[in-house]
Amino acid sequence: MKKLISMIVTAALAVTSVFALAGCNSANGGNGGDKASNFKVGAIYINSQNDTSGYTYAHHHGITEGMKKAGLDPSKDLFIVDNVPEDDEKVKQAIDQLAGNGCNIIFGISFGYINAFEAKAAEYPDIIFSHATGYLSNDKNFNNYFGRIYQARYLAGIAAGYKSLELGNNSIGYVSAWGTEYAETCSGINAFAMGCMAVNPDAKVSVYEISTWGDQQLERQAAETLIDTYGCCVIAQHCDSAQPQIVANEKGVFGCGYNSDMTKEAPNAHLVAPIWNWDAYYATAMKAAMTNPDTFMTEVGNYYEGLNAGLVDVSPISANCTPETKEAIEIAKKMMINGEWDVFSGVKLSFSGAAGSVAVAKSDAALVTNEGAEIVPAGGASVDDGVIQGSMNYYVEGVTQVN
């Protein structure tokens, strides 16, 4: 009897496996000759895939749109493990789960996933591992990707600078996950402040660091402090949720969000947000991985693009902005796209004029820290990408951390 039961169970498992394999291969009509029909995408998120704004939302939207561009069906070909903290063991468990799902490429969207991704890339050499915001990679199946978001931060700073001038208030606040500990946050703060000062030379940016990439309560508290204690009239942010913008809306001030257009969360406050069009990268990565995974690192490698590739931008200018804002942003954007100028150089931009006749002036001016140290001499070329991505650990003049 035991032997008979064992044979029945074995047969049932075999049938189940056949149906599971048949279902796995049925994506996009089950065309076995089409590489997309067997290609699976895995993603590990720091927050929920159901977020409607912010960091995880921007990546999830980018992945699903990128899949469509690559001929993949997100409803069948995408496997997600979300709400994964920056804990090596938990990230490794998520990777094992996605590998078990048959994923050919796995994206990890949080900086703290870096060590687990490096380890698992060695363990699973036939899977492509692609890690956002990090710096580690290998020469076969593990890359990192990010972009020149500082360019979009500068553009948002222009909007904040114009609003501060209109309000007669030079105090601008910035809720940031981290400060000078990470070049990612530091370069964004600096670029935003420089955009503010290109319009309002007297603008001062106060940074409140919450010491975590995302915590909605801390984000809210930081925004409240910047408004109530420091009198900030515009609240910018580098954190995951829309809470700083919601607080700005509640308290009758203005704000610049991040990752996605946050006007719907703060209709009376939001000016403009630096945003990511992540599908520009995700489509590129998926197509390369599908075509020939062995050449992925040669064709894609460690990816770092900006306004010129459409990877970063700003959201549509809201009705809360001043009339000059859109024109000035378009001028600065064009200068960065065509390579005429970039943010961290020894050349300063200054905007003037009313809407319809906004003008920009360029002047040689040293890039100086808030402690007076010269980083780039007047007229000098922009700092290296390696500094912007990895070693910028100073605030420029006009920026102060308040906690």
**Cα radius of gyration (the chain):** 23
The reported pLDDT for the residue numbered 11 is: 42
**Amino acid of residue 198:** A
pLDDT tens digits for 271-293? 999 999 999 999 999 999 999 99
Distance, in Å, from the CA atom of 159 to the CA atom of 296, rounded to the nearest integer, reads 39
Short-list 330, 344, 332, CA closest to 394: 344
Buried b (16+ CB within 10 A) or exposed e, 112-124: bbbebbbbbbeeb
The reported pLDDT for the residue numbered 25 is: 32
pTM above 0.85, yes or no: yes
Q: Which helix (H) or strand (E) holds 361?
A: strand 359-364
| Domains of the chain: residue spans and CATH | 35-147+278-307 (3.40.50.2300), 149-273+315-401 (3.40.50.2300)
Cα→Cα distances 81→44, 97, 107, 380, 388, Å: 5, 8, 11, 46, 31
DSSP string for residues in 120-178 = HHHH-TTSEEEEES-----SSSEEEEEE-HHHHHHHHHHHHHHHHHHHT--EEEEEES-
pLDDT tens digits for 325-359? 999 999 999 999 999 999 999 999 999 999 999 99
Per-residue pLDDT of the chain (403 residues; tens, 9 = 90+): 333 334 433 444 333 333 333 333 323 333 333 566 799 999 999 999 999 999 999 999 999 999 999 999 999 999 999 999 999 999 999 999 999 999 999 999 999 999 999 999 999 999 999 999 999 999 999 999 999 999 999 999 999 999 999 999 999 999 999 999 999 999 999 999 999 999 999 999 999 999 999 899 999 999 999 999 999 999 999 999 999 999 999 999 999 999 999 999 999 999 999 999 999 999 999 999 999 999 999 999 999 999 999 999 999 999 999 999 999 999 999 999 999 999 999 999 999 999 999 999 999 999 999 999 999 999 999 999 999 999 999 999 999 999 9
Q: Which helix (H) or strand (E) holds 274?
A: strand 274-276
